[in-house]
Amino acid sequence: MSEVQSEAAAKKRNPMRMALGGVILVGVAAVLYVIAAASFKPHGPADLREFKKASLEKLDVPAAPRAAPATPFTGLDGKTATLADFKGRVVVMNLWATWCAPCKAEMPTLAKLQAAYATQPLTVLPISVDRDSDLNLVTAEMAANPPLKTYRDPSYRMSFALDPKAGGFPTTVIYDKQGRERARMTGPADWASPEAKGLVEKLLAE
């Protein structure tokens, strides 16, 4: 083959190589775009409706997370606290009273839930609405259900600050690590059940 013929053949091959190279580059760019889009795609809150069964059959899972009230309550030492103090932890807030039989019946299961996740960022927060004159009954109930701690709101401020307000006792509200209400249970439940633990674990994993 002459030098002229070789040069002509090379010129024919170069456009083909360039076209093929362009296709490969476009393909690589597309793959990288898909990977990047998947990496930066915002993930919404987990759907907790799968745990709406058995003892949590009446669980209310709002369509969108609800803001937690800033309402203060007190510890046994009289110090004031708010839900914001527990941000960064999954919180299972339980509004209850010693005169409420279903409240007392479920309390041991709340204690078991707290004990099962003692090394994880979970706080079971029982808040009693009992009068000051019944404080001895409140402390006795908590003493019978370690490791739960005593918190109080005898004025019912938290019950009315919830949106919607508490529909009775017990009312249990579950907050995620960002301090948002993600689920609510009006009435008693078995908080040591597989469905309750599954709900908590899903929020702990977020």
Q: Residue 68: pLDDT above 60?
A: yes
Q: Read off the pLDDT of residues 83-111 as tens digits, 9 standing for 90 and up.
A: 999 999 999 999 999 999 999 999 999 99
Cα gap 129→106, rounded to integer Å: 16
Place of tokens 């409420």: 100
pLDDT of residue 18: 47
Beta bridge partners of 91: 123, 175
pLDDT of residue 45: 81
- The encoded tokens of residue 187 equal 């009435």
Q: Residue 119: pLDDT above 50?
A: yes
Cα gap 142→107, rounded to integer Å: 9
Q: Read off the pLDDT of residues 34-61 as tens digits, 9 standing for 90 and up.
A: 344 444 444 668 899 999 999 999 999 9
pLDDT of residue 20: 41
